[in-house]
Structure 1
Amino acid sequence: MQNILFILNEAPYGSERSFNALRLAINLNEQEHEATQLQIFLMSDSVSCALVRQKPSEGYNIQQMLDILLAQGAQVKLCKTCTDARGMTDLPLLEGAEIGTLDDLSLWTLKADKVVSF
């Protein structure tokens, strides 16, 4: 089993970087020839990807994509420093997503077979 860490930094909408990262993560989970364990660490403006009740007017829905990944067994953590800075630490998050720390990211990085940053 491969352990792959995704580090996201971009806001969920406005640029497609977070969207493309989550597309790749979902696709990796769908590959039949190799089992993967995905960990997704949201930093900077990407912490808003894990907020509930997203209602994009058209196109992709980041909340749904994270819900799919969580249902597939991915772990999702948000940088506490980043959520604090944006006043988001006490806001409701997607079920299964949790606030993490730089120590969590460091441990995930050390244990990862691959690290992908968007």
Structure 2
Amino acid sequence: MRIVQALVFAAAATLSLSAFADPSVAPSSATASAVMVSSSTHTAYRLTQDEAEHMRGSFRLTDGRTITVTNRMNKLFVDLDGKREELVPVAPKKFVTRDTGATVAFNQVPFADEVVVNQAAR
């Protein structure tokens, strides 16, 4: 989410600087075009320590793999394919791994009994 905010800030800064530019230097096609910047206005979702503690466990995936979810305070970690990564909450039941970008969705928080993992291709 911070990357999106940084990109929006950079785009806004570029647009504000271009407002002070000399229009005689810009090509005519640049003056006729418009730039639309959209951003998500949702706030970051945070787990409570109680929710995180009740998310711990081992979950068997449909492809036969098993993932293990652990917590430290209100942060969750997942052991996925031999690598331990932090789970960053992006919605009440959806998480993204910090390093690889895999999405992990639980059917409920806390006390999940089903998990879906979608690993991003990098």
Using the size of structure 2 for normalisation, the TM-score is 0.22
| Structure with the higher fraction of residues in helix conformation | 1
Hey, which of these two has a bigger chunk of strand by percent?
2
What TM-score does the superposition give when structure 1 sets the normalisation length? 0.22
